Chains A and B, each alone.
Chain A
Amino acid sequence: METGLPHYLIVSALLFSLGLLGVIARRSLLVMYMSLELMLNAANLALVAFSRFNQNLNGQVMVFFIITVAAAEVAVGLALIVALFRKRQTSHVEDLASLKL
């Protein structure tokens, strides 16, 4: 069977689900953060596939932007984690339940 758009989209969906699983199941803030990156990459893959099969380069430009924003986001996010760790001496989500009243 010739590979088409659905194939790439299925890979993208599965990768996205794996990322989501990581966010739900893993306890370390850092690993959760990596899982988020995975989800972002899944979206990128879908965009590139759409771009390819829609005869339109806008999707690739979008991915380019996403990668740039993700880089910035990772920098800020990691800085936040470091600051949090410095304050609480933990990067474990279960210890960070101050949202609860």
Chain B
Amino acid sequence: MPQFTDLLFYAFAGLTLLFGFLCVANPLSRNPVTSAMFLVLTIISMAGLFVLLHAFFLAAVQILVYAGAVMVLFLFVIMLLDLKEEDRRKLNKTAVGLGSLAVLGLAGVLVRAMLAAKPVIAAGSKPVEGSTKELGRILFESYLLPFEILSILLLVAMVGVILLSKKELK
């Protein structure tokens, strides 16, 4: 008998894939804004999957950073560039066909491998609990140096973006 969490998994997984598909290949609209909105939905449903995997902190970060900050940035740029052009252009049928074929092949190969796989999980051990406290401890003990380097990376990205956004590149 399927447990409630299993049902939730199927629901979130289905939603994730559906929204992902609509984001990438919406048959009704090719407007970038629509794509962006569906991406937000994909990310939110994926946060649900994270919760099912007991990664609560990551689920929160996913929604805050991705659905919040990153997607706002995307929408902001879409508005800024006023992108309507793709709608007016015809779809390249061969490109779409060949692309789908390659992607389907790849997906098929991957899924087939997953189905055949027998993951080895140590017997009797319980799945790990991703509590925020535990994660924070690891982050600031074992991964302190990468964490600090990451802050420098963000700084560099910031400087880079400012430089790129200046009117005249010299």
Contact = CB atoms under 8 A, between A and B. Distances in A.
Contact of A19 (B24, B96, B127): B24
Contacts of A31: 24, 32, 35, 86
Contacts, number: 241
Contacts of B49: 8, 11, 45, 48
Contacts of A21: 24-25, 99-100, 103
Interface string A39-61: 00100110011011111111011
Given A19-B24, A28-B86, A48-B53, 11 more contacts: A3-B5, A15-B17, A15-B20, A22-B23, A24-B102, A25-B25, A34-B23, A60-B57, A67-B61, A92-B86, A92-B89
Interface of B: 2-3, 5-6, 9-10, 13, 16-17, 20-21, 23-25, 30, 32, 35-36, 39, 42-43, 46, 49-50, 52-55, 57-58, 61-62, 65-66, 69-70, 73-74, 77-78, 80-81, 83, 85-86, 89, 91-92, 95-96, 99-100, 102-104, 106-107, 110-111, 114-115, 117, 119, 121-122, 125-128, 130, 134-135, 138-139, 142-143, 146, 150, 153-154, 156-158, 160-161, 164-165, 169
